[in-house]
Chain A
Amino acid sequence: MAKPCNVTLYALSTCIHCKKTKQFLEDNDVQFKVVYVDQLTGDERKEAIARIKEYNPKLSFPTIIIDEGVCVIVGFQKEEIQEALDI
């Protein structure tokens, strides 16, 4: 059972690694919020980019932010996700 964490997945709607990460979280019953940055415009896009950059200066996707940055996982890193969320 996944630990109760605040998990946000910053993703692109066209990205295969993002899709696989999302699927992996779903398959493991993780509660999370997904933000498709390529579908945002204006201030929403700027805010999302600023937030990601705070935790992942390379601004790459997927970026998973857990509990306000207690843990940040960049890329589809199965083992890191499993460890961080205890799944």
Chain B
Amino acid sequence: MSKQMTVEQLFEMLKKFQEPKGYFFNKDMTMTMPLLENLLVNKERYGYMACPCRLPNGTFEDDKDIVCPCVYREEDMKEYGACFCGLYVTAEVNEREDTSIVVPERRPPEKILGQD
């Protein structure tokens, strides 16, 4: 079994891939580090890095839309300057003093199973 990745390793790895594409980590590290930590918690729990701010169904097939980076990120960043959980923001948002933005949920609720 491979050694679990540390938060710092995840930070460096994602930063390298995401920032050149315009997806910047929120400069507010009281947001970013716990979010990354919880991505690792979800990887342990479910086997994949489900968005920490959404309710996973528990199987990759049913949650692939919310595996980070989620399929809703691009539209959210275009419209609000941040993704739903606030891990990624635009360069413009990172220039503000306060980078906290409330992004309304775009995932259709039908995607959450077990609600009948």
Q: Which residues of A contact B (CB under 8 A)?
A: 12, 14-19, 37-38, 45-46, 49-50, 53, 57-61, 74-77
Do B55 and A17 touch across chains, with their CB atoms under 8 A apart?
Answer: no
Cα separation A59 to B116 with both chains bound (whole Å): 13
A38-B55, A76-B102 known; A59+B38 contact, CB < 8 A: no
Selected A-B contacts with CB under 8 Å, 5 pairs: A12-B52, A16-B35, A18-B53, A61-B54, A76-B102
Chain B interface category by residue count: 20 to 34
A42 — nearest CB in chain B belongs to which residue? B114
**Counting CB contacts under 8 A, is B22 at the interface?**
no
Cα separation A46 to B55 with both chains bound (whole Å): 12
Q: Chain B, 102-116, contact with A by CB distance < 8 Å: what is the 0/1 string?
A: 101101010010111
Contacts of A57 in B (CB 8 A): 109
Sorted nearest first, the 4 A-B pairs with minimum C-beta distance are: A60-B105, A14-B38, A14-B52, A15-B53
**Counting CB contacts under 8 A, is B81 at the interface?**
no
Q: Chain B, 27-41, contact with A by CB distance < 8 Å: what is the 0/1 string?
A: 000010011001001
A43 — nearest CB in chain B belongs to which residue? B114
Cα separation A54 to B100 with both chains bound (whole Å): 27
Do A15 and B112 touch across chains, with their CB atoms under 8 A apart?
Answer: no
Cα separation A61 to B115 with both chains bound (whole Å): 15
A37-B55, A38-B55 known; A59+B112 contact, CB < 8 A: yes
A49-B112, A50-B115, A59-B112 known; A16+B104 contact, CB < 8 A: no
Do A49 and B53 touch across chains, with their CB atoms under 8 A apart?
Answer: no
Contacts of B54 in A (CB 8 A): 12, 60-61
Do B116 and A38 touch across chains, with their CB atoms under 8 A apart?
Answer: no
Contacts of B100 in A (CB 8 A): 76
Do A19 and B34 touch across chains, with their CB atoms under 8 A apart?
Answer: yes
